[in-house]
A and B are shown apart, each in its own frame.
Chain A
Amino acid sequence: MRFMLLFSRQGKLRLQKWYVPLGDQEKRRLGRELVQTILGRKAKMCSFLEWRDLKVVYKRYASLYFCCAIEEQDNELITLEVIHRYVELLDKYFGSVCELDIIFNFEKAYFILDEFLLGGEAQETSKKSVLKAIEQADQLQEVRAVYLPRPLIPLISQAF
């Protein structure tokens, strides 16, 4: 996988993970263009497209688009499964995940992604193992005991 982008229906970026070395400007430009291209596609169209010299796989879950750019020899259908697995992990972790969870806890989303994929490839195919690792890593975080009045924010993150 070359990169993964999560973005909203309005084109706002919620997560970007790049597995290829590109400059900041370049990343922004690519990201913007790809987001526009995908948002321009109609609902009935297939989840794959050739964009520039890349194969792109995308799927919409509620208000979020999950988009991956894969290599020529990668299997598009299994990439859809990879995306789905990531959504399942987020769902399990946050408990019925929604876009807000990812907005307010973006660093968690990254941590989970980094336990599932490494260098663009899946490092663990067991859902349970990934979640266990995250849980244990979370335990290691030095918790600051602070009163959080707002019940909307998940109580998981209190480290900062």
Chain B
Amino acid sequence: MPAPIRLRELIRTIRTARTQAEEREMIQKECAAIRSSFREEDNTYRCRNVAKLLYMHMLGYPAHFGQLECLKLIASQKFTDKRIGYLGAMLLLDERQDVHLLMTNCIKNDLNHSTQYVQGLALCTLGCMGSSEMCRDLAGEVEKLLKTSNSYLRKKAALCAVHVIRKVPELMEMFLPATKNLLSEKNHGVLHTSVVLLTEMCERSPDMLSHFRKLVPQLVRILKNLIMSGYSPEHDVSGISDPFLQVRILRLLRILGRSDDDSSEAMNDILAQVATNTETSKNVGNAILYETVLTIMDIKSESGLRVLAINILGRFLLNNDKNIRYVALTSLLKTVQTDHNAVQRHRSTIVDCLKDLDVSIKRRAMELSFALVNGNNIRGMMKELLYFLDSCDPEFKADCASGVFLAAEKYAPSKRWHIDTIMRVLTTSGSYVRDDSVPNLIQLITNSVEMHAYTVQRLYKALLDDISQQPLVQVSSWCIGEYGDLLVSGQCEEEEPIQVTEDEVLDVLEGLLVSNLSTPVTRGYSLTAIMKLSTRFSSVNRIKKVVSIYGSSIDVELQQRAVEYNAMFKKYDHMRPALLERMPIMEKSSSNGPTEMVQTNGETEPSALESKHPPPVTQPTNQANDLLDLLGGNDVGPVIQTSMPTKPPSSGGELLDLLGDLSLTGGPTSAPVSTGPPPQPGFLLDGLSSQNLFNDISAAGIPSMTAYNKNGLKIEFTFERATPNPNIAVITIHASNTTDADMTEFVFQAAVPKTFQLQLLSPSSNVVPALNQGTVTQVIRVLNPQKQQLRMRIKLTYSHKGSAVQDLAEVNNFPPQSWQ
């Protein structure tokens, strides 16, 4: 049997192959030779064969039949064999194969070998690919080697221990004693690997973390020596002494200083020193600065140091090296939440990075820009971001569009600006907008009542230009369906109204239905829009025709809709107007929390506001409807929103304002209302005012006073401050009757000087029962913006024992706290 071909020879031969097929042939031939050689249990050439196998494995060919051979090589006495054997093990074996466990014994022996390079091989292999079982078996050996004085082995043992801890965290404890004097080593290799080991232990266990905190002074000293010491040729990299070690120490300091004041203070000086003295002309200096910045931002550093760190990042942003810029943007993104103002100072540089050529930098800059948007800079920032959206790669468009919508929603300076921004996004990147933005946008448009005409006009014009972007088309068709009447009526305040006829609108919508560009969802939207226009337009016959055509559409969804709409024309024509009415305001229940006033009931069901049903007792969400209902079904309309400004109280006793405020805060105020006894309309307020009383006693501490006491009628005033507005005093009157006859038709009226405003709410009842059997309560709200002394004139009228009684009185003895 001729000697197997040498490794280099094989490599050269394979490289001469001109085609993939030729290469495969060569490889197969060689593999066959190697296999038969393995079968012969040839010790001499095993090493060579495995080496060749490893080369072929790297080219992508299967080499599993060499696994056992690697084990045999490892077990061999020859160093060459062991070297290749361990390499083969690391390349061909992994913990998924049962075979790998056979290595354990060999490794154990080699860990105790007389030659340190063999020990090194074993440590290296264990530290690279040791499985949990292997680690468990061999941890003791590693721990022994961690204590050796041989620095060559000690450093390897340290990293091996790191791997063992990662695989089997419970074993961490056993390495603790060995770490005692790791940092007193002079050898940089040992120092570096020790710091890595300490870092791993501190990250995994809070106990270890507290235990190792005492090392901070020592670490600071080592770092200081590295910086201050002169040129050391062995560890020098572009004038900096051992940057790898410096970076590792800085990282360990970060972990130790996090949420610990003392440690953070102990490292303040060295961090400042590193930050100011490190040479920044080469990448290596910047690597150290970067790590320093990360550490400063993470520990409890003093503000001066933090500012220094942010400024370093700011300088990084201007660096020519794009890697540095990238790293700066990443770090700023991490710190923007905590040091928002400091980062804002670099906003213009960050926005410039949007125009960078590199994709990663652009993405970072985009994320950071969105984080920096606030109420003050929204207009400028949005301009830049929209410009970015126009020109960026498709992979960014979805995220950018979502970001723009979010920012616009939070900080829009005006409704018109908001709608314009949405329009811009839809028209330029309409096809990348996320699916959930269509309903969100529709909700937004519905809520901007005064902008309906403007919105539908702009959307219509956009549709005329381009019908390919589905989200845009969907939103537009929905709006046209809803507000088509505004469109044809030619009313638009915000811009020049366009003249469009009903037929033109229907042409556009029908065009969407037949176009190949429209998705089934879009078609559904258009069909529904056309149907809605049947109550808004006069050309009903045309609509009837369209709808009936689609009754036989292949698309099941369209067919169903068309058939149902057809039915609406035929059998249910009387219900059609009600079903296709304007949509009410929709509240976003998920993001706006408990302020849910009107439920969204779906597209064509009647809204809760418009129907008049008797008030159910317990449901808080219907409370608002009940209270409004009490007004005699005023056409309050869909204007009640969380963002509505509070109207100043008028003296006519407008229930709406007070109730609007109270019911919008949800929860507690509506609870007592629902538990009240049978409804007299006024009793609801009774519940409210007794609540005020509670608050008064517990919180405000303004003493009550007797305002009037005559002829058996006693009127007491109790006070409280209305919390949103400290200029408003809430006075509750309690009228009680000590005579033996009821006072009926009791009416309390009050007047205040011109500088005040008064709001009188309904009384609990108009009968003051005799002999103190009950009180009539009524709430007065007084607005006192000039903080003048409160004075009031009251007028009382009632019937007592058959005769009408009327009295006027002045109330001057208000306690100072009620009006100051």
A pairs with B: yes
Is the CB–CB distance between B326 and A78 below 8 Å?
no
Is the CB–CB distance between A46 and B94 below 8 Å?
no
Is the CB–CB distance between B94 and A23 below 8 Å?
yes
Which chain B residue has the least Cβ–Cβ distance from A88?
A: B237
Is the CB–CB distance between A82 and B58 below 8 Å?
no
Q: Which of A80, A106, A153 contacts B283 (CB 8 A)?
A: A80
Given A47-B323, A118-B127, also A160-B188 (CB < 8 A): no
B128 contact set on A, CB distance < 8 A: 19, 114, 118-119
A160 to B78, CA, bound (A): 13
Is the CB–CB distance between A45 and B359 below 8 Å?
yes
Kindly provide the distance from the CB of B415 to the nearest chain A CB, expressed in whole angstroms.
Answer: 38
Kindly provide the distance from the CB of A152 to the nearest chain B CB, expressed in whole angstroms.
Answer: 10
Interface locus among A62-70, A89-97, A124-132 = A124-132
A151 within 8 A of B: no
A126 to B59, CA, bound (A): 33
Contact digits for B599-641, partner A, Cβ 8 Å, 1 yes 0 no = 0000000000000000000000000000000000000000000
Is the CB–CB distance between A126 and B83 below 8 Å?
no
B58 contact set on A, CB distance < 8 A: 13-16, 106
Is the CB–CB distance between B79 and A129 below 8 Å?
no
A145 contact set on B, CB distance < 8 A: none
A133 contact set on B, CB distance < 8 A: 117, 120, 152
B60 contact set on A, CB distance < 8 A: 13, 28
A18 contact set on B, CB distance < 8 A: 129
Which chain B residue has the least Cβ–Cβ distance from A81?
A: B284
Is the CB–CB distance between A140 and B244 below 8 Å?
no
Interface locus among B156-164, B378-386, B480-488 = B156-164
Is the CB–CB distance between A46 and B193 below 8 Å?
no
Kindly provide the distance from the CB of B240 to the nearest chain A CB, expressed in whole angstroms.
Answer: 10
Is the CB–CB distance between A125 and B192 below 8 Å?
yes
Most B-side CB within 10 Å, residue of A19, A82, A121: A121
B96 within 8 A of A: yes
Kindly provide the distance from the CB of A4 to the nearest chain B CB, expressed in whole angstroms.
Answer: 12
- Which residues 138-156 of B have a CB within 8 angstroms of A? 152, 155-156
A107 within 8 A of B: yes
A119 to B58, CA, bound (A): 20
Is the CB–CB distance between A82 and B54 below 8 Å?
no
Given A45-B357, A45-B358, also A119-B78 (CB < 8 A): no
Q: Which of A76, A122, A140 contacts B327 (CB 8 A)?
A: A76
B45 contact set on A, CB distance < 8 A: 160
Number of interface residues of A (CB under 8 A): 57
Q: Which of B78, B120, B235 contacts A126 (CB 8 A)?
A: B235
Q: Which of B129, B152, B237, B286 contacts A77 (CB 8 A)?
A: B286
Which chain B residue has the least Cβ–Cβ distance from A159?
A: B80
B95 contact set on A, CB distance < 8 A: 21
A77 to B8, CA, bound (A): 36
Is the CB–CB distance between A46 and B322 below 8 Å?
yes
Which chain B residue has the least Cβ–Cβ distance from A32?
A: B60
Which chain B residue has the least Cβ–Cβ distance from A132?
A: B152
Is the CB–CB distance between B359 and A110 below 8 Å?
no
A19 to B468, CA, bound (A): 49
A85 to B287, CA, bound (A): 14
A48 to B363, CA, bound (A): 12
Which chain B residue has the least Cβ–Cβ distance from A55?
A: B330
Q: Which of B8, B189, B288, B323 contacts A76 (CB 8 A)?
A: B323
Is the CB–CB distance between A23 and B96 below 8 Å?
yes
A75 contact set on B, CB distance < 8 A: 247, 251, 287, 290-291, 294
B196 contact set on A, CB distance < 8 A: 121
Q: How large is the interface on B (under 10, 10 to 19, 20 to 34, 35 or more residues)?
A: 35 or more
Contact digits for B61-104, partner A, Cβ 8 Å, 1 yes 0 no = 00000000000000000111001100100000011100000000
Kindly provide the distance from the CB of B630 to the nearest chain A CB, expressed in whole angstroms.
Answer: 58
Kindly provide the distance from the CB of A73 to the nearest chain B CB, expressed in whole angstroms.
Answer: 8
- Which residues 288-327 of B have a CB within 8 angstroms of A? 288, 290-291, 294, 322-327
A154 to B768, CA, bound (A): 114
Kindly provide the distance from the CB of A82 to the nearest chain B CB, expressed in whole angstroms.
Answer: 7
Is the CB–CB distance between B159 and A46 below 8 Å?
no
A61 contact set on B, CB distance < 8 A: none
A142 within 8 A of B: yes
A77 to B189, CA, bound (A): 20
Which chain A residue has the least Cβ–Cβ distance from B96?
A: A23
- Which residues 95-143 of B have a CB within 8 angstroms of A? 95-96, 115, 117, 120, 123-124, 127-129, 131
B172 contact set on A, CB distance < 8 A: none
Given A45-B358, A46-B322, also A104-B129 (CB < 8 A): no
Kindly provide the distance from the CB of A48 to the nearest chain B CB, expressed in whole angstroms.
Answer: 6
Contact digits for B178-192, partner A, Cβ 8 Å, 1 yes 0 no = 000000000011001
Is the CB–CB distance between A122 and B244 below 8 Å?
yes
B570 within 8 A of A: no
B47 contact set on A, CB distance < 8 A: 159-160
Contact digits for B713-743, partner A, Cβ 8 Å, 1 yes 0 no = 0000000000000000000000000000000
Kindly provide the distance from the CB of A80 to the nearest chain B CB, expressed in whole angstroms.
Answer: 6
A78 to B250, CA, bound (A): 12
A43 to B395, CA, bound (A): 20
B242 within 8 A of A: yes
A30 within 8 A of B: no
Kindly provide the distance from the CB of B480 to the nearest chain A CB, expressed in whole angstroms.
Answer: 42
B234 within 8 A of A: yes
A53 within 8 A of B: no
Given A75-B287, A118-B124, also A123-B155 (CB < 8 A): yes
B160 contact set on A, CB distance < 8 A: 118-119
B284 contact set on A, CB distance < 8 A: 77-78, 81
Kindly provide the distance from the CB of B393 to the nearest chain A CB, expressed in whole angstroms.
Answer: 13
Given A46-B323, A81-B237, A126-B235, also A118-B159 (CB < 8 A): yes
Kindly provide the distance from the CB of B135 to the nearest chain A CB, expressed in whole angstroms.
Answer: 12
A142 to B43, CA, bound (A): 14
Kindly provide the distance from the CB of B760 to the nearest chain A CB, expressed in whole angstroms.
Answer: 64
Is the CB–CB distance between A126 and B251 below 8 Å?
no
Q: Which of A42, A47, A141, A160 contacts B79 (CB 8 A)?
A: A141
Q: Which of B51, B83, B162, B291 contacts A137 (CB 8 A)?
A: B83
Given A119-B162, A122-B192, A122-B244, also A114-B360 (CB < 8 A): no
Q: Which of A103, A118, A125, A137 contacts B117 (CB 8 A)?
A: A137
Further pairs besides A76-B323, A77-B324: 5, Cβ < 8 Å: A46-B325, A77-B323, A118-B127, A127-B234, A160-B45
CB pairs A–B below 8 angstroms (5 shown): A46-B322, A106-B55, A119-B128, A126-B188, A141-B80
- Please list the residues of chain A having a beta carbon within 8 angstroms of any beta carbon in chain B: 13-16, 18-19, 21-24, 28, 42, 44-50, 73, 75-78, 80-82, 85, 103-104, 106-107, 110-111, 114-115, 118-119, 121-129, 133, 136-137, 140-142, 153, 157, 159-160
- Please list the residues of chain B having a beta carbon within 8 angstroms of any beta carbon in chain A: 6-8, 11-12, 15, 45, 47-48, 51, 54-55, 58-60, 78-80, 83-84, 87, 94-96, 115, 117, 120, 123-124, 127-129, 131, 152, 155-156, 159-160, 162-163, 188-189, 192-193, 196, 234-235, 237, 242-245, 247, 251, 283-284, 286-288, 290-291, 294, 322-327, 357-361
Q: Across chains A and B, which 8 residue pairs bring their CB atoms closest together, nearest first?
A: A77-B287, A160-B48, A124-B189, A119-B127, A46-B322, A118-B159, A78-B287, A140-B79
